[in-house]
Amino acid sequence: MTPPAVVQAALDCGLSMVAICDHNSAGNVAATQEAARAARARDVRQSTDADPCGVLSVIPGMEITTAEEIHVVGLFPGADAAQAAATEVQATLPEVDAEYYRRFGPQRQLDARGRLVGMERRMLAAASTLSLAQTVALIHRHGGLAVAAHVDRPSFSVLSQLGMFPTDAGFDAIELFVPCGWPGGSASRPVQDPQHWTVGGLPIVWSSDAHFLNDVGRCRTAFTMMAPTFAELVQALRGVDGRSVRGA
């Protein structure tokens, strides 16, 4: 899962926008944005009709583990905002030791070419001490969108941890990971129609929750919007001026 490999995997399966959401870290966001720009420059050199569809937009994100062990995806307007939010989250995490790396694997920070530039020094697999309410507020304070991650999963989801969905939690969207086309996915369940699947009136996004390259694009969302940007994403989730969100 190096930045250039993620970018290539996303382009290969026809995605035009991805969010980079390491656990409790935004340490690989800027490098992936740079890798996407590099891939674009390379494509332009190789192609005579610079195809705008070859552009991959990389949204800065982070999957935060709250004190209740709920995963909340924060999507941010820029890498700086994501990093500022990550710094606050990481201040509540324990420092790593050699044993931790051995058990959980190294926490690499890579550059745009996939070279090792550093290691995360906090236990990213641990839960922060921030409550759900504090986490959502933190994301919003940094201009971000708070998404209830994989609510249909039996662990680390709002429903598994809290039993029922708190409609006043301040979420901007709910994420499902039902891979479209899988048994139980969109082919046999009407999960694609947000009219039938809303919780507290929140829009639903479908995400791959990819932890491995093969997972990239296994589940995706079609946004109807002017451009694959964070600002448009915000408006699409709110359904502004005909913009919309649906499973794809």
Partner 1 sequence: MKLNELAAQLGLECLASTPQADQAEITAGYVSDLLSDVLAHAPRGGVLVTVQVHLNVVAVAVHAGLAAIVFALGRRPDDVVCARAREEGIALYASTLPAFELVGRLYAAGVRGTAA
Q: x/- string (CB under 8 A) for partner 1, residues 153-172?
A: ------xxxxxx-x------
DSSP run (H or E) holding 87: helix 79-90
Shortest spacing between CB 200 and partner 1, in angstroms: 14
Secondary structure (3-state) at 221: strand
Write the single-letter amino acid at 145.
L
Instruction: Return the number of the residue (55 or 146) whose C-beta is nearest partner 1.
Output: 146
Instruction: Return the number of the residue (163 or 183) whose C-beta is nearest partner 1.
Output: 163
235 vs 16: CA distance, rounded Å: 17
Q: Is the dihedral of CA 100, 139, 15, 218 positive or negative?
A: positive
Q: Which of 23, 43, 44, 68 forms a contact with partner 1 (CB under 8 A)?
A: 68
132 vs 146: CA distance, rounded Å: 10
Q: Does 43 bind partner 1 (CB under 8 A)?
A: no
Q: Does 92 bind partner 1 (CB under 8 A)?
A: no
Q: x/- string (CB under 8 A) for partner 1, residues 187-226?
A: ----------------------------------------
Site size toward partner 1, by CB under 8 A: 11
- CA dihedral of residues 166, 198, 211, 138 (deg, nearest 10): -40
138 vs 39: CA distance, rounded Å: 33
Which residues of this protein are in contact with partner 1, per CB under 8 A?
68-69, 131-132, 159-164, 166
